[in-house]
Structure 1
Amino acid sequence: MHLHSSQQARPATREWNLFEDSILALYLGQSAARIFAHGAIYHLTEGETLTLGGPQTLTVVLDGVLIAQTGWQGPGCHVAGDGTCYKVKSETASVWVLDRAGTGWQAPGRQALQHALEMALTAADRALQAATPPADLPDPETLSDVDHPQIRRMAARLRRTSEAATADAVFRFVQAMPYRFGNWQERASDTLARGNGMCTTKANLQVTLMRAAGLEAGFVEMPMSMSVLGKLMPAAWLAMMRPTVRHYFGAVKLDGRWHAADSSYNDDSMGIYLESFPDYAHLLPAHVSIGKPYSPTAEKNGVDPFDIQVVPHLNEEMSKKSRFSPAQFEALNTRLDRAQGSWRNWVEEDHPDLGAGLRVVS
């Protein structure tokens, strides 16, 4: 690994906070701090280069953007050494580097940490594989696959004796799913099988289930400030985000009137919001009924949740390609995954020591 001689390791309090938000730290759990201490911190400035070493070199981007011909790495991403040369694209960047072939890491008594690291890398790889969309993405016209057998079956299970009760049952079923950033060109049946989603994919599933249950449902677009949505993200990503983003959610017509029904955030992800916005507390438990729409974003924006423009589909929006790779989405999700326990899906059942070492903190 090549670094300019002027680059020196620095005190690591801030860097530890950034490392704790990384994918690797998520799966290392209580071993993260001890393993972090075995690496070195390097700070770079715009235009400087970083050449990864051999396969035993492990690098975690703490903040900033590193770019190469093969793509870019953002905060929280980790990569094994393969000789790739990265250039700092942002004003500054910092990285954590562990030489797994070095004498310090290979010293006697390090076997437990070495094992924890390998298991964490395996779990992170399994999560990444599951989050990677197929090479051939579905036609946007097919995303609301209302006639899919699993959609029909679930809609039948959620149907109640009244339209309002059915709408609430579907809403609460989708709302309970973990909120995670990721690919949005996904059929409703795929989101149902995955069991989690972001605003677009959860809205698509909700509207599809409502339609399959015989309800009139549609989609709403509303601006959301990054000062709000950013609470769900690791702090190092915020500098790369737009000040305002488009937020999408579902709506259902009850008693002849459109009701906002935003199922994006489950209780655990709303808990992250509550740390910064305690005035949201009355929004839990989430539910929809006649005369009672549900939209945290409308409330935060000071908008009447009945004053909404409902459209029949999000095909154009959901056909757009994201600027983030699956690995970058996984890095964006670490704060959410800790709060929601999502990492548990990828911890090997035959490694209970790793599961016991992980902790969930919001």
Structure 2
Amino acid sequence: MDAFLKECTYVDFHSDSVRRKADELFPSCMDDVDKARVAFEFVRDGIPHSFDIRAERVTARASDVLRYGTGICHAKANLLAALLRSQGIPAGFCFQHITLADDDRRGYCLHGYNAVFLQGRWIRVDARGNRTGINARFSLGEPVLAFENRPQYDEYAFPGIFAVPDTVTMEMLDRAGSLLDVVFGLPDKLSVQPAVTE
């Protein structure tokens, strides 16, 4: 479980901005489930997805997502993991292979979201951000994610829970100067291995 509590370059929960936001979000009386719910709702609703607002800034690190107030799914997952790990709540990453468009005409990409260890088990949450056609919610039962897998379009979830973000995706976000770079640079394969297999 230690792997899901560590700080890394992109899950930089010791940064001043993440610590300040954690202090603001989590009163001392709050339990882990409530912390996870509050953090999820803040990242889902309070940090708009970069494509939804046509953001000019591309972010990757949790602290930069807070600083600039935007991120794509992978960056937002980094922020949610950072907020939860700052509270000693194990948080990991999950990935889906999904289409870039409504169908497979434009190819595929990796979609990133989180797994959180609560009440003795992993739950999956997707803080991508809701819009028309997307209604992800916090659930201790069946996950309510942003995207349902459509087997007819070769969409699927990668098995396992990952302790770190996808390396190639993070490197691409660091290099990207615009959202157009992200569109053309998003990988559709994973470069990391799961820390927990299922």
Query: Fold conserved (TM > 0.5)?
Result: yes
Are the equivalent residues in 2 in contact too, given 1:170–1:209 (CA < 8 A)?
yes
Q: Does 1:171 align with 2:40?
A: yes
Listed one character per residue, the Cα deviations across residues 6-28 of structure 1 (whole Å, up to 9, x for unaligned) are xxxxxxxxxxxxxxxxxxxxxxx
Query: Structure 1 regions of 5+ residues with no counterpart?
Result: 1-140, 231-237, 275-279, 333-362
Change (3 A) 1:292 1:163: farther
1:260 corresponds, among 124, 142, 158, to 124
The equivalences for 1:70-109 within 5 A come to none
Are the equivalent residues in 1 in contact too, given 2:97–2:156 (CA < 8 A)?
no
SS across alignment from 2:113 = strand
Letter in 2 for 1:148: S
Change (3 A) 1:289 1:327: closer
Name 1:209's counterpart in structure 2.
Answer: 83
Name 1:180's counterpart in structure 2.
Answer: 50
Are the equivalent residues in 1 in contact too, given 2:13–2:85 (CA < 8 A)?
yes
* Alpha-carbon distance in structure 2 between the residues aligned to 1:310 and 1:249: 10
- TM-score, normalised with respect to structure 1: 0.40
Listed one character per residue, the Cα deviations across residues 193-247 of structure 1 (whole Å, up to 9, x for unaligned) are 111110111010111011112211010111112234x8xxxxxxx97x4x12111
Query: Structure 2 regions of 5+ residues with no counterpart?
Result: 1-7, 52-56, 185-198
2:145 corresponds, among 276, 282, 295, to 295
The percent of aligned pairs where both chains have the same amino acid is 27
* Alpha-carbon distance in structure 2 between the residues aligned to 1:152 and 1:247: 27
* Alpha-carbon distance in structure 2 between the residues aligned to 1:317 and 1:331: 14
Letter in 1 for 2:117: K
Q: Displacement, 1:328?
A: 3.1
Letter in 1 for 2:36: A
Are the equivalent residues in 2 in contact too, given 1:203–1:263 (CA < 8 A)?
yes
- TM-score, normalised with respect to structure 2: 0.70
Name 1:321's counterpart in structure 2.
Answer: 172
Change (3 A) 1:257 1:226: same
Q: Displacement, 1:263?
A: 0.4
Which has the higher relative contact order, 1 or 2, with Cα contacts under 8 A spaced 6 or more apart?
2
Change (3 A) 1:222 1:325: same
2:14 corresponds, among 147, 153, 156, to 147
Listed one character per residue, the Cα deviations across residues 100-132 of structure 1 (whole Å, up to 9, x for unaligned) are xxxxxxxxxxxxxxxxxxxxxxxxxxxxxxxxx
Count residues in correspondence: 166
Are the equivalent residues in 1 in contact too, given 2:77–2:114 (CA < 8 A)?
yes
2:67 corresponds, among 148, 168, 193, to 193
Q: Does 1:162 align with 2:31?
A: yes
**Which structure carries more helix by proportion?**
1
Q: Which structure has the larger Rg over C-alpha atoms?
A: 1
* Alpha-carbon distance in structure 2 between the residues aligned to 1:264 and 1:316: 19
Listed one character per residue, the Cα deviations across residues 58-82 of structure 1 (whole Å, up to 9, x for unaligned) are xxxxxxxxxxxxxxxxxxxxxxxxx
Letter in 2 for 1:156: D
* Alpha-carbon distance in structure 2 between the residues aligned to 1:324 and 1:147: 25
Change (3 A) 1:330 1:158: same
Change (3 A) 1:201 1:257: same
SS across alignment from 1:214 = coil
* Alpha-carbon distance in structure 2 between the residues aligned to 1:331 and 1:248: 15
Are the equivalent residues in 1 in contact too, given 2:126–2:145 (CA < 8 A)?
yes
**Which structure carries more strand by proportion?**
1
Q: Displacement, 1:330?
A: 9.8
Q: Displacement, 1:153?
A: 1.9
